[in-house]
Amino acid sequence: MTKVKTTYNRRTFLKTTALAGGGMLLSFSWLAACAPSKQQVAQLPKNWFNLNGYLKIAENGQVTIQSPNPEIGQNVKTSMPMIVAEELDVDWKQVIVEQAPLNTDIFSRQIAGGSQSIRQSWKALRTAGATARQMLREAAAANWKVPVTEITTDKGILFHKNSGKSATYGEMAAAAAAIPVPKEVTLKDVKDFKIIGTSRKNVDGQKIVTGKPLFGLDYQREGMLIAMIVHPPAFGLTLKSIDDSEARKMPGIREVFSINTYPATMTRGAFDVDAFPEMAVIVGNSTWEVMQAKKALKVSWEPIKPYSFEMDGWRGKTTVNVPAGLESSETHSAKMAELAAQPGKVLRKDGDPDTAFKNAATIIERHYTAPFLAHNTMEPMNFFAHVTDEKAELVGPIQTPEFMEKSVAARLGLPLEKVDIQMTRMGGGFGRRLYGHFLVEAAVISQKIKAPVKLIYTREDDMTDGVYRPAYHVTYRAALDANKQLLAIHVRGGGVPDSPVHANRFPAGAIDNYLAEEWSVATNISTGAFRAPGSNFIASAEQSFLDEVAEAMGKDPIDMRLEMLQRAQSKPVGEKNDYDAARYAGVLKLVKEKAAWGSAKPGVHRGVSAYFCHNSYVANVLELHLKDGKPVVDKAYCAIDCGIVVNPDAAANMAEGSVVDAIGHALYSKLTLKEGVPEQTNFHEYRMIRHHEAPKNIEVHFVKSDVDPTGLGEPIYPPVFAALANALYKATGKRFYNQPFFPEY
């Protein structure tokens, strides 16, 4: 048992209220367990002490738990309330989950991103549940005139063994509401968990399978109009003029105009990424009518001039410079290859890599590349807005409501408290809905037409709008001595526009001579986070490279990694290594055992990979065979260490999806540009993985752990790419360096 103070840091706050019909309401801060960086502390919202979640116990014993975080398919709407219910000690069947009303005035870290929802709220959720339970026990003790220590609970019922008395939580809720919030409560031992660690179904499952309105695109309002955009056909172009003579005459069309979402004078927020601030807008009565007018609208475009704007981002205020020009993937590749051949900015240097490479008997140098990717959430970008002189009301799918609220307020010239963002379930995010320019666009449109409006992107708008996963190029070099021992590793990487290099991750710390460098290429194509940003590429390069190095050393790829991790654990090089070598080795050992690594299967080719990012450790083995020269992945094994697993089957589901997602992007997907124009506009051109290409069998294994839970949405994704590349090598005798591996397939 762990005792925790309910006010153990200055951000914790609990408050109890009696409910009108009897029963209790315990309001609390979901932020209590946050361990923010100094930088985040500096950005504390003004209403930090406000309550942002509650649990409610009704007289009939029914428990309502609010889930505050955006639901994007990561299942937090189920798993976060499970944590509260555990410490409250109720039957999960008694629990109703509500999406908290989204109000960034009172909520904080209402973000779906960085795989942080469970990790950062773990202690706060537990404390809330335990506090309510403690107050119920105190109420029962007072009522029955017995010591509180003698009161036990189970499934929403209070017991006093000696007297044989019992009462439901509902019966004691009103009395409990009158008890002061205790200063200290006791959390359960992990071994006593009854709900955490058991699989519970998605609380929205029934609504999803019966087609109930849940998503932003489903939102309707009386008198609501439909808006669509026409954005520049190429990056590097902007709006010149609109000829709306045809479009205006078309049935159902109300208005045609241009907007500027982000005027040059506006300071943008961290998530106001947008390559096309100026564009044309059509507003009409129905989606189909607006779609027709969109085809008829004639817009003239002109090249942009280089421009810059202020962004109040993660590293404080910066000036962002946007170059002019019509860029192509071919020229990006050439530029990246050129920079890859030059020294970059040194991020970390251990030992004497220069001498090690000079003295090497063998040097292995390999280059890895990957293209831009579009997120392609199945629900295209959309948002509802109703802006009046008094307030701005917005409803829709957004991963970063509290950030976008500020952007809307700044853009419309409204005080923050006049902006209200309500959030719907999201039809996928993968990072794309961190960047809410579409929400600001909807607000600007509604302000202009003085009516409620829903902005809808067509698939083509969505796919050609940017905010892509950056394109990357990384070079790995290894120095081996005459005895095939590893002397040094050198990584130099960059991208358009970001570098994927994480200098302090493995293999840093496991090798005496190590050098990490980075470079970058400026672009006018907007890019952003894409499921495990940076990691999703650097893991594929690093883990493919280590496979090749192991082979050159004459070692088994798992044994070779384990030896390196052993070194990192027993005698680490440097002090900034950001991983736990023992946990890293743990997932490799687990996947080795589960996949029966080393036992050959005829016709089956296997590859292995492991990675650590977003606080969790994952190893994969993939098995494939070739059919007509093309890979068919038959089976995947995932070994995961994310600490305590709250909802195992839902966690396994996410791991399975991650394997499928990674196989698709590794083999098929790319977003290429020619003269600024995206060459893929819809799913007939952009190759997505489909049913028949998914592995038939995916085994997911979790390391048994008592460690507080860490994230899962992202860390399970990056290692899959290299496991696939390494299995492909076994199958074909060829190494795969450039993603996608089968672009024409």
Residues that bind another protein (CB under 8 A): 72-75, 199, 201-202, 204-206, 208-215, 217-218, 220, 226, 251, 286-289, 291-292, 376-380, 425-430, 456, 458-459, 649-650, 653-654, 656-661, 664, 682-684, 688-692, 694-698
DSSP three-state, residue 331: helix
User: Considering the complex, what minimum distance in angstroms separates the CB of residue 457 from another protein?
Assistant: 10
DSSP three-state, residue 549: helix
539 close to 284: Cβ distance less than 8 angstroms = no
CB atoms within 10 A of CB 724: 27
DSSP class of residue 32 equals T
User: Considering the complex, what minimum distance in angstroms separates the CB of residue 720 from another protein?
Assistant: 10
From residue 141, alpha-carbon distances to 57, 127, 173, 184 in Å are 18, 21, 13, 17
Cβ proximity to another protein, 381 vs 511, nearer residue? 381
Cβ proximity to another protein, 38 vs 692, nearer residue? 692
User: Considering the complex, what minimum distance in angstroms separates the CB of residue 630 from another protein?
Assistant: 15
Cβ proximity to another protein, 90 vs 426, nearer residue? 426
Measured in whole angstroms, the distance separating CA 38 from the mean position of its chain's CA atoms is 22
User: Considering the complex, what minimum distance in angstroms separates the CB of residue 532 from another protein?
Assistant: 14
User: Considering the complex, what minimum distance in angstroms separates the CB of residue 464 from another protein?
Assistant: 13
From residue 327, alpha-carbon distances to 65, 169, 235, 700 in Å are 50, 64, 7, 42
User: Considering the complex, what minimum distance in angstroms separates the CB of residue 526 from another protein?
Assistant: 20
79 close to 199: Cβ distance less than 8 angstroms = no
Cβ proximity to another protein, 691 vs 734, nearer residue? 691
User: Considering the complex, what minimum distance in angstroms separates the CB of residue 338 from another protein?
Assistant: 35
Alpha carbons 291 and 271: distance in angstroms, whole number: 28
The token pair that represents 647 in the structure block: 């909802």
Share in percent of the chain as helix, strand, coil (round to 5): 30, 30, 40
Cβ proximity to another protein, 14 vs 253, nearer residue? 253
Please choose, from the candidates 294, 265, 292, the residue with its C-alpha nearest in 3D space to the C-alpha of residue 277.
Answer: 265
Alpha carbons 322 and 225: distance in angstroms, whole number: 34
Alpha carbons 699 and 591: distance in angstroms, whole number: 10
Cis peptide upstream of residue 232 (ω within 30 degrees of 0)? no
Cβ proximity to another protein, 447 vs 680, nearer residue? 680
DSSP three-state, residue 93: helix
User: Considering the complex, what minimum distance in angstroms separates the CB of residue 214 from another protein?
Assistant: 7
Alpha carbons 452 and 388: distance in angstroms, whole number: 9
For residue 277, is it left (φ>0), alpha (ψ between -120 and 50) or beta?
alpha
Angle between helices 117-144 and 169-177 (to 10 degrees): 90
Cβ proximity to another protein, 241 vs 697, nearer residue? 697
48 close to 108: Cβ distance less than 8 angstroms = yes
User: Considering the complex, what minimum distance in angstroms separates the CB of residue 172 from another protein?
Assistant: 34
Please choose, from the candidates 383, 535, 531, the residue with its C-alpha nearest in 3D space to the C-alpha of residue 462.
Answer: 383
Cβ proximity to another protein, 18 vs 214, nearer residue? 214
440 close to 272: Cβ distance less than 8 angstroms = yes
Cβ proximity to another protein, 129 vs 380, nearer residue? 380
User: Considering the complex, what minimum distance in angstroms separates the CB of residue 42 from another protein?
Assistant: 33
Please choose, from the candidates 271, 276, 306, the residue with its C-alpha nearest in 3D space to the C-alpha of residue 110.
Answer: 271
User: Considering the complex, what minimum distance in angstroms separates the CB of residue 430 from another protein?
Assistant: 7
Count Cα atoms within 13 angstroms, Cβ side, for 195: 26
Measured in whole angstroms, the distance separating CA 440 from the mean position of its chain's CA atoms is 21
Cβ proximity to another protein, 291 vs 340, nearer residue? 291
User: Considering the complex, what minimum distance in angstroms separates the CB of residue 678 from another protein?
Assistant: 15
The token pair that represents 61 in the structure block: 């014993």
The token pair that represents 377 in the structure block: 């959430």
Cβ proximity to another protein, 135 vs 671, nearer residue? 671
Cβ proximity to another protein, 289 vs 352, nearer residue? 289
User: Considering the complex, what minimum distance in angstroms separates the CB of residue 676 from another protein?
Assistant: 23
Give first-to-last CA distance, the chain, whole Å: 56
User: Considering the complex, what minimum distance in angstroms separates the CB of residue 531 from another protein?
Assistant: 11
Cβ proximity to another protein, 162 vs 286, nearer residue? 286
Alpha carbons 405 and 419: distance in angstroms, whole number: 6
Cβ proximity to another protein, 481 vs 699, nearer residue? 699
In the chain, the amino acid numbered 503 is A
Residues in the chain: 745
131 close to 28: Cβ distance less than 8 angstroms = yes
User: Considering the complex, what minimum distance in angstroms separates the CB of residue 696 from another protein?
Assistant: 7
Cβ proximity to another protein, 166 vs 287, nearer residue? 287
Those residues whose C-beta lies under 8 Å from the C-beta of residue 534, and which sit 6 or more positions away, are 498, 499, 500, 501, 502
545 close to 560: Cβ distance less than 8 angstroms = no
CB atoms within 10 A of CB 557: 23
